[in-house]
Amino acid sequence: MQVQVMNHPLIQHKVTLMRQKETGSKDFRNLLEEITMLMGYEITRDLPLEDVVIETPIAKMTGKQISGKKMGIVPVLRAGLGMVQGMLNLVPTAKVGHIGLYRDPQTLEPVEYYCKLPDVVDRDFIIVDPMLATGGSASAAITLLKNKGIENIKLMCLVAAPEGVQRINKDHPDVRIYVAALDDKLNEHGYIVPGLGDAGDRIFGTK
């Protein structure tokens, strides 16, 4: 299984807080934003740098800056929205696209109901979705981006089931998956076990 589990102590501590059923929406949202920033720090490690000449109050020097690489953040609606601000805190110039998918009750396959993306030319994309369960929606979201000609795609999730990781590995072996936790399995209702419940409901305080 190809997946990078980000096991920094701060990430692990915060995921444990998020899992607890007593954690309310406000804390859940804040923790998700914090974890997204911690994960985003690692995920953006390969951003190319270039030299830039600047002047400090004391002297001229050559510093480093990110070399204009364009980035797109794409939350899968609706739970993915909870990871957008964390990424924007790190990369304020990133553009944000949105993908909405629902599951066809007959075929159980994801169907696109919304897709709005920024200019895709020379842009690297990170798809964000807290829960990688069956992998059906994440795989469909990746296909959607690939069909627009996007080549460099990463998938960033909070909690994954092995089933979801395997599905992405099979459908999109070129896409790297980053997670904060790899859990045991899916239950018969499609929830990740032990997981944290319905991420969208916990972010937005719905039932």
Is the N-terminal amide bond of 130 cis, ω within 30° of 0?
Answer: no
Query: Which one of the listed residues 27, 124, 171, 201 is annotated catalytic?
Result: 201
Nearer to ligand URA, 104 or 119 (CB): 104
Nearer to ligand URA, 33 or 198 (CB): 198
| Beta bridge pairs of residue 63 | 52
Smallest distance, Å, CB 190 to ligand URA? 6
Reply yes or no on whether 36 is catalytic.
Answer: no
Nearer to ligand URA, 35 or 94 (CB): 35
Could you tell me the two tokens for 197?
Answer: 């419940």
Contacts of 57 (CB under 8 A, 6+ apart): none
Reply yes or no on whether 107 is catalytic.
Answer: yes
Q: Which residues bind to ligand URA, rule: CB under 6 A? A: 79, 131, 133, 190-192, 195, 198-200
Contacts of 100 (CB under 8 A, 6+ apart): 76, 77, 78, 112, 113, 114, 115
**For the chain, first and last CA: distance in Å?**
33
Tell me if 182 is assigned to a ligand binding site: no
Active-site residue numbers?
Answer: 103, 107, 198, 201
- Annotated binding-site ranges for 5-phospho-alpha-D-ribose 1-diphosphate: 78, 103, 129-137, 198
